Amino acid sequence: MIDIRLVRTNPDLVKENIKKKFQDEKLVLVDEVLELDRQFRAARSRCDELRNQRNQISRQIGALMGQGKRDEAEEVKKQVAAIAEELENLEASEGTLEEEIRKRMMVIPQIIDDSVPIGKDDSENVEIERFGDPVVPDYEIPYHVDIMERLDGIDLDSARRTSGNGFYYLKGDIARLHSSILSYARDFMIGRGFTYYIPPYMIRGNVVNGVMSFAEMENMMYKIEGEDLYLIGTSEHSMIGKFIDQILEKSELPQTLTSFSPCFRKEVGAHGIEERGVYRIHQFEKQEMVVVCEPEDSMMWYNKLWQNTVDFFRTLDIPVRTLECCSGDLADLKVKSCDVEAWSPRQQKYFEVGSCSNLGDAQARRLQIRVRGENGTYFPHTLNNTCVAPPRMLIAFLENNLQEDGRIRIPEALRPYMGGQEYIG
């Protein structure tokens, strides 16, 4: 949610930003907000005026009663009653106008950074840099589920019977590999100075509305029936929500946090759920990074966060690239975002394994997270990034470490978490 003062002072900038995101249907919202804001401020000004009048006139009543001028005092009381009635109506109108303004402000997109490439959708995202050499071996790389099944490491049929499509049982060395990758990611991020958290896996509706747009919520979140609770789609939701309605001291920034959680997603949309595979599923685990920082430091942290993911994957011998998200592919709360994609030898292309986002002050403004500075309070910036999210990451791991004899090589960095094992199979 942007600052309404920006809409007042520079509506053309807000409209131009909407056009850059190819959301022309939202242009009318800017003019509506301006008109509603005009009415709101007029109502508030009139309310202040009436309160002053009421206070001044009310003081006359006591004086008139003391002078025995009861009739005149009664007339003044009628004036006070009339003012009170008008004030009550105006205050109700003020509340309605404020709510209407907020509804519109919640869907006007955040101002994107000048460096964001302009494009309609993810097909126009821009490759930034590659790390590691993508290799296609001269032997066949099977589909990832086939690799897991050959190693007796996955059971999709049982999961379909218990839970339906989009779920899985991992077992044996593949399950151990899954857990080892997460344990290694935890220690990797602690080693980079981040504080480790295990957060709540359910959050209230006001936190959901603070961390994401309504459209995202509808497509992602599972609601707990009969309760004001949602299953988290990522631990970012809990971790940013932890600061709701808080005033942080300037000395407490930056907050650099890394969190583990299961993640639950409806995955509503064009992609749908895979019937056979673990790329797009309803439940997975993730090691996340979250930063709350000074506004002027957010781009520095943005670059640090995506670099952490690149470095993590490279320690596991997985080639990756970074892809800049274009304007039309940015969620409305984001200022700038890039995806980290891993190389798939089987498909001979890269696929997404993580996403890094700078949300500016959008989440802080929605959640009323403030910092106490020398000249008053202000909104910090928030950022998040995926360190690793198996089992999707397992696809890249298995394909890039598959040997010709069918075994899976365990990179050195991971061997301590696998009991010293050098190969699976």
CA–CA gap between residue 183 and residue 295 (Å, rounded): 32
CA–CA gap between residue 135 and residue 347 (Å, rounded): 11
Backbone CA torsion sign across 20, 21, 27, 31: negative
pLDDT score for 87 = 86
CA–CA gap between residue 71 and residue 336 (Å, rounded): 69
CA–CA gap between residue 154 and residue 162 (Å, rounded): 15
Asked if the peptide bond before residue 391 counts as cis, ω within 30 degrees of 0, the response is yes
CA–CA gap between residue 194 and residue 35 (Å, rounded): 45
Secondary structure element (H or E) that encloses residue 48, with its range = helix 27-66
Name the amino acid, one letter, at 46: R
Which residue segments constitute the domains of the chain, with CATH numbers given? 4-105 (1.10.287.40), 122-424 (3.30.930.10)
pLDDT score for 216 = 77
Report yes or no: 380 and 374 within 8 Å, Cβ to Cβ.
no
CA–CA gap between residue 396 and residue 169 (Å, rounded): 19
CA–CA gap between residue 379 and residue 9 (Å, rounded): 19
57-60-66 Cα angle (round to 5): 160
Q: Determine the number of helices (DSSP H) and then strands (DSSP E) in the chain.
A: 13, 18
pLDDT score for 268 = 61
CA–CA gap between residue 297 and residue 41 (Å, rounded): 34
Q: 255-264 and 195-197: which strand pairing? A: parallel
C-alpha dihedral, 130 to 133 to 136 to 138, nearest 10°: 170
3 — phi, psi (to 5°)?
-75, 125
Token pair of 146 as six digits: 């086939």
pLDDT score for 176 = 97
List average pLDDT for each run of 10 residues in the chain, which is 425 residues long.
93 97 97 96 89 77 67 75 85 91 94 97 96 95 95 95 93 97 98 98 94 80 94 95 97 97 81 74 95 98 98 97 97 96 96 96 96 94 96 94 96 97 95
